[in-house]
Structure 1
Amino acid sequence: MDVREVTRFKPDMMLKPAMVQEEVEDDDSFESQAAKRKLARKRAQEMARAADLERAYEEERRAKYPRLGEEGGDKLSAEYQEQIDKMMDKVEETLDDTGVKKIILAFEKKALKNQETRIKFPENPEKFMESEMELHDALQEMKNLATVPDYYPIIVDLNCVPSMLGLLTHENTDIAVGVLDLIQELTDVDTMNESEEGAESLITALVDNQVFALMIAAFDRLDESVKEEADGVHNAMSIVENIVELRPQVAKDAAEAGFMTWLIKRLKEKVPFDGNKLYASEILSILLQNEPANRQMYGELGAIDSLLQQLAYYKRHDPNQQEEFELMENLFNCLCSLLAEKDNRDRFLQGEGLQLMNLMLREKKKSRSGALRVLDHALSGSEGAQNCSKFVDILGLRTLFPLFMKTPKKSKRAGVTIDEHEEHVVSIIASLFKNCTVGNGATKQRDRLLAKFTENDHEKVDRIMELHEKYSAKADNADSKIRREMKVLGEEFSDEEIYIKRLQEGLFVLQFVDYIILEICSSGASSVKQRVLQILNLRGGSLKTVRDVVREYAGNLGDREDENTSQEALVEQEYLQSLIDKF
């Protein structure tokens, strides 16, 4: 079993950017809403193109043919229909390599002609206006290449990519916007997936020719108050998303080319909420999620304080619309990603991020679920030790334990399920026990944490045992489900597959719950352990079930003989074994 993958497992701790699908589940989750919105954008673009084509047909008909019923109308109606049929056949005709080359060469000629006329008549727009209109038409014609991704290598071989990207610096922003629209269609993920070879060749050519840096340079000339230019910025971000989705390793290249800096600046702008601000938050989340270098760069740019300031607005204000709620969730996702780096945790602590998250928990706004998720990331692991101590010092336990005792109503959880809420809360408490230790100089904080389980006639012990029963049942059901699946499929799952399935079905939370039970029994007041034993006896449970869960958890942290097992994992494994022996 690859223990590195298993020990890093944390189901659904961070909302991931939604993938575009032809069918999206009808639910209220953030992932589903984002997927629906992306699919809607794609369909809207297709409808817009169809509408433009229909308008062109109608204008040509009115210019060439009289209305039906007027003089000559009946005689020409058949001719008109024939012309329409021919036009539709032409549009639907599948391009071959010859047709692709003709389109590319026509584009190159018109681009060159426009460049020559602009150089020849720089002060006389009337002289180059016609060539500019022809170039714009050629860009529209180039969109037909998006229907034949198998021929993308021809685009690369004919050196068309540098010509397209060169037009991003064109004096006429309409041309630059047209190029962004073209590249967005060529890099559409659904289109690219139709041809692996075509996608690889085009992406390589775009990246090698500095597509990211050229788009950033184009942004300086685009005015987002103009709809067409705002659409151009939106298409540029879509290009980044498409390329990174198909080749994740270029996320670092995009950030280094200036996209990280531009996204930070764009999100800081105090302008009315708009679609591009939402999309900017999505792209930032994508660039940060799986690239450590980008997370480190973001922290070094001093932008964590800026991110906290943007989130601070939602401390006392709920988003006004669903799209703004998605923006808020994206910002929380960005913060969760950033906290994977130790240096960023220090910056988060210094920027009073813990205090902000604690206030959000108290205010009971829609930001509460996001704040809970951020705290889970900030306090986890040995790198969260300082944050754990500080969280107790700022009276965070007073805010956290009411959420532990009672899960908020659905309207107050902002789309988070009961299980997700309980997972975050239990994970935070487990992190506090792991990091508030004598060795970390947090004896007082640990004592305050243990004291919580003796308050109000041990009500928190009753609650942790209630969660033990709930998630034990879930784990048992998962075992039965796995056995049925193997029987139906007629095949055996590997130990790793079985373990991960069980984690997903409730074992993950149960491990934290039972770990907390061991901690409070071994380090807390004697009355705590008596209460635990009493409840186990009443419900037909046993100490063995608790020990077995934690023993399995410890066993999957690593192996001393495995050189890939971290020292931190081995120390935790040894500590867990000592707790089991005491219980």
Structure 2
Amino acid sequence: MTDVNSLLKRFNSRGNEGPSINKKRRLDDALNQYSKGGTTPPSLPPVVRDDLQDEPQDQVTPAVGDDVGNDDEGGRFYGGGLSAKQREVLDFVDKYEDDVTDEVYDAGWVSKRLAKLDKVVKKNTQLRARYPDQPEKFMESETELDGCIKSLSLVTEYPQLYLPFAELHGVTILANLLSHDNTDIVVDTIQLIEELTDSDVAIELDDLKKFMSTFVDEGILGVLIENLGRLSSSTSEGDTEHAGIFQILNVLENFTVFDECSDIMFIRTTGSNQGDTGLLPWILRRILVKEKPVSQNKQYAAELLSIVLQKSHISRGQFCRQTYTTPDMGDLTGVDALLRILSSYRLYDPPAEEDNETELFENVFDSLSVVVQDARGRDKLLENEGIDLLLLILTSGGKNGKTRAMKVLDYALASGSCSALAVDLVSNGGLKVVFKHLSSSRYKEDKYFTAGAVHSNTKHITLDAILGVLASLFRNLPEDSSQKIKLMARFVEKKFEKVDLLLNFRKLTMGQVERSAIAIKAERDEFLKSKPDDMDELDNWNDEVQAREAEWYIQKFENGGTRLQLIDVILAWLAAEDEDDGLGVKERLIRGLESQNQSLADIKETLVSYRQEIQIENTTGESEEETTQREEATQLAEMLDVLIDFL
């Protein structure tokens, strides 16, 4: 039987009947009108090639009135080469050019296009049913169908056409086309959906959301996910199916702009088709495939996973909870899959020249950083020996891997209910690794007093992440446990070297915070001078003030505010833990603060300010995610209250 796709490509080579971009077809219209006057338009003149000057050329009679003698190079540019009849046709075009009107793009235009598309779809369906074994019988209609689909891309250029397109059941037609037997037609449809759902189109966000909700109601997300399995995962960049998969992933990413869509990517909780959507198993299988070099689709699958996990608490829960069966690795969870991929990079980073592989590597780390903030994700990290892998990367991995591994530890330990993880880290030699990076850190600011950087042989690891891990260990390790004793011992060894190091970091951070505060105050004072006298402009100015205040608030923490909080939390814990032990840590801390004209009261002031920023609200009907956030905030506030009372 003749291959359908190859036949379609042959028919497409003839061109299709879709409209041209300019829509005017001025020359054709003029020639048609000219013919109605009783004269047949002349044929086009022969092409004269400059590179064939030595060959004999046809002699063309100059048009009447042409001044050949004034033409440069034998009259080729000023009138030569056109007969009188051809010149008459062009004069006719110039005369009636202004009478050709642009096509009007409104609901009526959409209705006509969709009616034609629906008619062609039905015709193609009938021919396919009548001649299932004779592709040549229905390929002409399939070529016409291809042109109709592509012509609808004009909708993206006219925002006013979006809602009429949905109201006139255009989305329903596209949903049906996604199940077409010809994959080229399916890919054309996917490409059109990709263009229609792009958030960069010039349409109001509310209208775009309403438009895209029509796609959700029609079940297009589910059909797109089904097509991921239908289309082959060829790594050939120019392959049609490869392009189709990439476009499906792009469409799915377009829908993640709205949180409601991110929630239903992995699991449907409402409607008739409740349950697993099939997207997560497909993504896991795709990113676990070993490829050299890494293909664009594998990288994009990892990127989509990272985006969905960041935006949806429901999808994160499904990712951590569900177990999936893979052909080569058996049963595994999402966290297990991420750790298996990262284990390939425990000794080195991806090659710098391999952009797709580097992005895959970073996206997998980003996904892991998100899921370990969920209690179920932390349990899976512990169950699959994830702490061991992260410590190995911190010891022997590349620079990029070390940076990201420390951030994952920081996120994983940030909760007040992860004692098991903290114990596991210390029991597996994690203190040696963390303190080695702390000791080799060197604080250095840039001249603009932006967020301080750390420059040393471990400059790629941010100091804030290291401080975050230490603060979390004090918070989570059980009281009087051997692990807590080992932690305190690290600050006692080498004549309180780590205490002095933290005090030095604190001094530098205080200077950065003070200079940042001066810069922010100057900027605020200057802006407040611009307060308008016109009451009509005052509302806009007040809105701008609120926006600026939010920016200044964030800038305060980026320029040392967060780091100062972390340092003072650790120092407060050191003073509290040494109250009864008499190890000399508290005494060394007090003397060091006095040398900087500071005291424990200044640390207390930082913690009080930190505590005031934590707002805890009890609301009715809150989601699971909101409940978790409130509980975390409550635990953090309680810890700060205890330290403040001690100080």
Does the residue aligned with 2:348 lie in a helix, a strand or coil? coil
C-alpha distance in structure 1 between counterparts of 2:155 and 2:619, whole Å: 52
Partner of 1:452: 490
2:366 is aligned with what amino acid?
Answer: N
**1:483-518 Cα distance to aligned partner (Å, 9 max, x none):** 223312217769994655432332112111001111
1:4 aligned residue: none
TM value normalised by structure 1: 0.80
1:3-57 residue CA offsets vs partner (Å, 9 max, x unmatched): xxxxxxxxxxxxxxxxxxxxxxxxxxxxxxxxxxxxxxxxxxxxxxxxx989xx9
Q: Distance in 2 between matches of 1:152 and 1:436?
A: 57
**348, 355, 359: which one pairs with 2:392?**
359
Q: In the alignment, what sits opposite 1:263?
A: 283
444-453 or 311-320, which moves further after superposition? 311-320
Matched, 1:529 2:529: no
The one-character-per-residue Cα deviations of 1:153-183 (angstroms, maximum 9, x if unpaired) are 1211221211112111111110111111111
Aligned partner (choices 388, 394, 398) of residue 422 of structure 2: 388
CA deviations over 1:239-270 (Å, ceiling 9, x no partner): 1111221x221112222232222212211222
| Map of 2:127 onto structure 1 | 117
Single out whichever of 390-399 and 568-577 deviates more from structure 2.
568-577
Q: Residue 434 of structure 1 aligns to which amino acid in structure 2?
A: R
Task: Specify the alignment match of 2:513 in structure 1.
Answer: 475
Q: 2:466 aligns with which of 411, 422, 425?
A: 425
Aligned residue number for residue 317 of structure 2: 296
Does the 8 Å CA contact 2:309/2:370 hold for their aligned counterparts?
yes
For 1:254, what is the secondary structure of its paired residue?
A: coil
In the alignment, structure 1 residue 200 sits paired with structure 2 residue 221: no
| 1:189 aligned counterpart, secondary structure | coil
Whether the aligned pair in 1 keeps the contact of 2:266 and 2:278 (CA below 8 Å) is: yes
Larger helix percent: 1
Q: Distance in 2 between matches of 1:65 and 1:470?
A: 81
Q: Is the CA contact (8 Å cut-off) linking 2:395 and 2:433 kept in structure 1?
A: yes
Greater Rg, structure 1 or structure 2?
2
Residue 151 of structure 1 contacts residue 198 of structure 1 at CA under 8 Å; is this kept in 2? no
Q: Residues 573 and 104 from structure 1, CA distance in 2 versus in 1: closer, same or farther, beyond 3 angstroms?
A: closer
Counterpart Cα distance in 1 of 2:638 and 2:222: 50
Instruction: State the match for 2:410 in structure 1.
Output: 376
Residues in 2 aligned to 1:386 and 1:158: alpha-carbon distance in whole angstroms: 57
- Matched pairs, number: 517
- What is the distance in 2 between the residues matched to 1:535 and 1:183? 64
Query: Aligned AA for 2:278?
Result: G
CA shift, 1:296, in A, is: 1.0
Give the alignment of 1:272-351 within 5 angstroms: 272=292, 273-301=294-322, 302-320=333-351, 321-351=354-384
CA apart distance, 1:379: 1.0
Map of 1:182 onto structure 2: 192
Name whichever of 98-107 and 319-328 sits farther off.
98-107
Residue 126 (1) aligns with residue 136 (2): yes
Cα distance change on mapping 1:576 and 1:94 into 2, 3 Å: same
Query: In the aligned structure 1, how far is the partner of 2:207 from the partner of 2:493?
Result: 65
Kindly tell me: are residues 494 and 267 of structure 1, through their superposed partners in 2, closer, same or farther at Cα, counting changes over 3 Å? closer
Contact 1:368 1:413 in 2 (8 A): no
Deviations 1:512-557 (A, max 9, x none): 1001111112323543233323332333333332221012223333
In structure 2, how many angstroms separate the alpha carbons of the residues matched to 1:478 and 1:544? 22
**Post-superposition offset of 1:561:** 9.6
Inter-partner Cα distance in structure 1 for 2:229 and 2:386: 33
Q: Which structure 1 residue ranges, 5 or more long, are not aligned?
A: 1-51
Q: Is the 8 A contact 1:107 1:142 kept in 2?
A: no
Paired position in structure 1 for 2:146:
136
Structure 1 vs Structure 2: percent identity of aligned residues?
Answer: 27
Mapping of 1:47-126 within 5 angstroms? 66-69=46-49, 71=58, 74-75=81-82, 95-126=105-136
CA distance in 2: counterparts of 1:102 and 1:567, whole angstroms: 57
Matched, 1:514 2:578: no
> Residue 94 of structure 1: CA displacement?
6.7
Matched, 1:576 2:640: yes
Which of 246, 251, 265 is equivalent to 2:262? 251
CA distance in 2, matches of 1:140, 1:561: 53
- The structural deviation recorded for 1:90 is 10
Q: Using the TM superposition, name which of 288-297 and 496-505 deviates more.
A: 496-505
Compared with structure 1, are the counterparts of its residues 65 and 112 closer, same or farther at alpha carbon in structure 2 (3 Å cutoff)?
farther
Does structure 1 residue 404 correspond to structure 2 residue 445? no
Q: Give how far 1:197 is off.
A: 5.4
Deviates more, 1:359-368 or 1:472-481: 472-481
Question: CA contact under 8 A between 1:423 and 1:509: conserved in structure 2?
Answer: yes
Q: 1:90 to 1:405 in 2, by over 3 A?
A: farther
**CA 1:132–1:574 in structure 2 vs 1: closer, same or farther (change >3 Å)?**
closer
Gaps of 5+ in 2: 1-19, 29-42, 50-56, 61-79, 268-276, 323-332, 445-452, 529-541, 621-626
Q: Distance in 2 between matches of 1:81 and 1:235?
A: 47
**1:262, 1:161 → 2: CA distance?**
25
Give the SS at the match of 1:308: helix
Deviations 1:270-313 (A, max 9, x none): 23311111111111011111211111111122221111101111
8 Å CA contact 1:184–1:235 kept in 2: the answer is: yes
Query: 1:67 & 1:354 partners in 2: Cα distance?
Result: 73
Instruction: Check whether the contact 1:149–1:198 (CA below 8 A) recurs between aligned residues.
Output: no
Q: Deviations over 1:53-86 (max 9, x none)?
A: 89xx9xx9xx9774245656932898799999x9
Question: After the TM superposition, which of the residue ranges 524-533 and 390-399 deviates more from structure 2?
Answer: 524-533
Structure 2 letter corresponding to 1:149: P
Residues 1:437 and 2:478 are matched in the alignment:
yes
SS of aligned partner of 2:279: helix
Using the TM superposition, name which of 322-331 and 475-484 deviates more. 475-484
**CA apart distance, 1:329:** 1.0
Q: Deviations over 1:429-468 (max 9, x none)?
A: 0000000132xxx611111001111122222112111221
For the residues of structure 2 that align with 1:232 and 1:181, how far apart are their CA atoms? 8
